[in-house]
Structure 1
Amino acid sequence: MFEGLMGRIAGRFARVEPRFRARQLVLGLLADLPRKNCWTIAEHVGDATPGGLQHLLGRAKWDADLVRDDLREFVLEHLADDEAVLVVDETGDLKKGTHTVGVQRQYTGTAGRIENSQVAVYLTYTSRHGHAGIDRALYLPKSWTGDRDRCEQASVPDEVGFATKPQLAQQMIERVLDAGTPAAWAAGDEVYGDNPKLRAALEKRGLGYVLAVSCTHRVLTAAGPQRADHLAKRVPRRAWQKLSAGRGAKGHRWYDWALVAITAGDPTGHQHLMIRRNRTTGELAYYRCYSPRPVPLSTLVKVAGSRWTVEETFQSSKGLAGLDEHQVRRWDSWHRWVTLALLAHAFLAVTAALERRDQVPTDDGTSPGGLIPLTCNEIQRLFTALVVRPVRDTAHRLRWSTWRRRHQARARHSHYRRQTTLQP
């Protein structure tokens, strides 16, 4: 599986050197390293310095978008499903300084507060076979797009302007649909559900959606515009149905659900406000739903539950493939690192999906042999232990210790000299 994936992207590199370095980087991203960056990966794979990997990310001639297209085709080859869901969400990476592309003080769900961070929107393909990330878009705040000198220093292309997160999501969804990706639904959180332009674009493409909306979201009913939380208070007791949003780590996620028909500008589709109620706390959540054809409540609930697959993708791609551990500052370098990290995670996700497909699970999700199917974590452990043969001899480790200390000494001397120059 791994060699087939590497062979798929090999043609994107005109020279053998970057092709070899890309393979090394993906192997390093799949390794069980405590921290993954050019230094640690270069030492792990046996290079004398990180220069080769840094050249791959910064100066080598190859197009990360073409590799992204290969990644998408790889995922679709194994996970394609006509009823698949395209799930969009953003995640932030905490960063120091101000020179890394896209960084500013902004809210990020990673920290749960406003922090100096870099935010990107990702698209996950979710089907009955499995799920994996297939596209990415870096969010550039107005503090960046309004400062062309700053953008030039980070090698941001001139044609890249400001785009909101829903606009980035729309671009990615339309890109994968134009490529012929089989999918029937889109899902996302309130950032995307509250955006009318995104909803209109999805309706125009005939793509159904179940998008979370805020409690203050207004919908058009036969009685006129109404807030979502006001409509929820009028739902009769008999309208609530107990349904599972999908199987989680601890079993099914049971909620009470209700559906309210609403009207909208598109007379050809079916619009609803779906309300979810926590069976323990009574907490409510709201979803704006559209489908080109009538569908039962259970289908909309299943699509809403699939939104959590993007969270699982973030967790495993960061924990297993170093998605958030890049130490790059420029536009191209960020896209190259993230694309190869998504490629590494897709290898794990597809392998795990094929393992589950070959198993006939019991009611509690285990196989007849009393084992759960192989997970991404376990596949990574086996791949690292049985396939990857890192260089670990003493001389190599000592050479790297010397190289790190010399590089750090030069950096310290440079910082001290700059500080002395800037002092009055």
Structure 2
Amino acid sequence: MDLPRSNDGEARFSVYVEGLTSVIGHADRAKPLRDYCLGLMMPCERKSVEPIAAITAPKRTAAQHQSLLHFIGEGGWSDEKVLAKVRELVLPKLERHGPIEAWIIDDTSFPKKGQHSVGVARQYCGELGKQDNCQVAVTLSITNHDASLPVAYRLYLPKEWAGDRTRRRKVGIPDEICFKTKPEIALAQIRWACEAGLPRGAVLMDAGYGVDTDLRASITALGLSYVAGIQSHTTVWAPGTGPRPPKKWSGQGRPPKLLRRDDKHKPASVKELALALPTRAWRRITWPGATGEKLSSRFSRVRVRVAHRDYWLADSRPEEWLLIEWPDGEKEPIKYWLSTLPEDVAFRQLVDIAKLRWRIERDYQELKQEVGLGHFEGRGWRGFHHHATLCIAAYGFLISEREKIPPSANRATRAFPQFALRQGYQSRGSAIAA
């Protein structure tokens, strides 16, 4: 006999959690795992430990609070194993709507007021759009046009943290964690994804990562294509241009090997190249937006060779696509991409894949607003990553059930009607309590 319709969501959630429970070790972790994931999906203002305890155990909140604090902050379960199980459970449901088309690398930030939370420093905070006190995490997501799923998540550790033994010990940073730049963290995640056999797609990245020549070269070496945002001053060799070949060997000493430049052999910035293109080079392209609406803009594409420090090379870099966006009404182009997608890729497909990067913005919006990714209030390395792992697990359940229980407060409440905060409750982390 089928379960009543009102219990369908809870039944599917129980099956999902049973799958996660199979990889966390001790049986006594099963209940806090279920309660924490459930609390992350409930419509409370904060998704930190205290309000989760209040919503999942209103009659014994204090005891639940301690249990969840230990589970998240001290629990010895593996983030990697849980994320692997999330992929195993969710990926087939994503692929029912189409194959994985892209891997997206990016980072997300969390403003912080104190100085003691792991990795917090004054650095660029994307959420605020300026330099400020925050934590930053680098992520890798796999996506198609229907949905996306984060598969790797790692806190960026600034140099002042990486080299401070006292601070490291206080927040439990593992000994093997050393300073790495954000592109280096992203590359490690991409290499891991290749080794793990994840379904491949083009690697998408914004200019914060795309300007890193070594990162792009390493992605190519892994056999992956990319669509990488770049800055307007990036230099390239336009069609029909290139550096001078190495000097002719005089017969003495080592033969010259390095490419050369002179007044007649100079690369151009992508902005200079774009402004010099004829009107006929521009074409209006339409692509699907975040909510299914059709968006359009003017684009041009040109086969170029990247010029960055190629005077230290013996051969020019291979040709790749330069994609340029110049919307009507703008005084100059607004976006530039380099792409190693095949030379015969359709213009519309090139634009469509470049614009697919918007999925990561949707990821972050839902992870933060719907499941409280930025609400962790602990200070430790383990707790920071445990909270994020279970946010991704909750998000994975919601996107796999999107047609039945999309991530919204009203739908989640209907799916789990027995869980609700007592009237008048305010967590210590809420704006009203503060």
Q: How far apart are residue 214 of structure 1 and its match?
A: 0.5
Corresponding residue for residue 376 of structure 1: 406
Alignment check: 8 A CA contact 1:75 1:346 kept: yes
Alignment check: 8 A CA contact 1:269 1:290 kept: no
Q: How far apart are residue 386 of structure 1 and its match?
A: 3.1
1:96 paired to 2:113: yes
1:146 paired to 2:189: no
Give, as a single letter, the amino acid of the residue that structure 1 aligns with 2:410. Answer: R
**Which residues in structure 2 correspond to 1:154-165 (within 5 Å)?**
154-165=171-182
Out of 173, 176, 183, the position equivalent to 1:166 is 183
Equivalent-residue separation in structure 1 for 2:176 and 2:343 (angstroms): 39
The 10-residue stretch of structure 1 (228-237 or 283-292) with the greater mean CA deviation from structure 2: 283-292
CA distance 1:351–1:252, change in 2 (3 Å): same
**Which residues in structure 2 correspond to 1:24-423 (within 5 Å)?**
24-46=35-57, 47-49=60-62, 50-80=65-95, 82=99, 84-221=101-238, 222-224=240-242, 225-249=267-291, 251-263=293-305, 271-282=320-331, 283-292=333-342, 294-352=344-402, 355=403, 376-378=406-408, 380-390=409-419
Q: How far apart are residue 41 of structure 1 and its match?
A: 0.6
Equivalent-residue separation in structure 1 for 2:413 and 2:212 (angstroms): 43
Alignment check: 8 A CA contact 2:289 2:295 kept: yes
Equivalent-residue separation in structure 1 for 2:203 and 2:52 (angstroms): 36
Q: How far apart are residue 294 of structure 1 and its match?
A: 3.0
Corresponding residue for residue 414 of structure 1: none
CA distance 1:99–1:340, change in 2 (3 Å): same
Q: How far apart are residue 208 of structure 1 and its match?
A: 1.3
Larger Rg over CA atoms: 2
Aligned residues: 378
Alignment check: 8 A CA contact 1:317 1:341 kept: yes
1:333-381 CA-partner distances (Å, limit 9, x unpaired): 11100010011111112222xx3xxxxxxxxxxxxxxxxxx68344x52
The 10-residue stretch of structure 1 (246-255 or 164-173) with the greater mean CA deviation from structure 2: 246-255
Q: How far apart are residue 32 of structure 1 and its match?
A: 0.2
Normalising by structure 2, what TM-score?
Answer: 0.81
Equivalent-residue separation in structure 2 for 1:278 and 1:250 (angstroms): 20
Equivalent-residue separation in structure 2 for 1:141 and 1:82 (angstroms): 36
Equivalent-residue separation in structure 1 for 2:200 and 2:379 (angstroms): 34
1:19 paired to 2:30: yes
Q: How far apart are residue 293 of structure 1 and its match?
A: 5.8
Alignment check: 8 A CA contact 1:272 1:289 kept: yes
SS in structure 2 opposite 1:242?
Answer: strand
SS in structure 1 opposite 2:374?
Answer: coil
The 10-residue stretch of structure 1 (384-393 or 65-74) with the greater mean CA deviation from structure 2: 384-393
Give, as a single letter, the amino acid of the residue that structure 1 aligns with 2:125. Answer: T
Higher helix share: 1
Question: Quick one: percent identity of the two aligned structures?
Answer: 29
Corresponding residue for residue 369 of structure 1: none
Equivalent-residue separation in structure 2 for 1:72 and 1:293 (angstroms): 32
CA distance 1:148–1:169, change in 2 (3 Å): same
Equivalent-residue separation in structure 1 for 2:304 and 2:39 (angstroms): 51
Gap runs ≥5 in structure 1: 356-373, 405-424
Alignment check: 8 A CA contact 1:76 1:181 kept: no
Normalising by structure 1, what TM-score?
Answer: 0.83
Q: How far apart are residue 290 of structure 1 and its match?
A: 0.7
Q: How far apart are residue 15 of structure 1 and its match?
A: 1.9
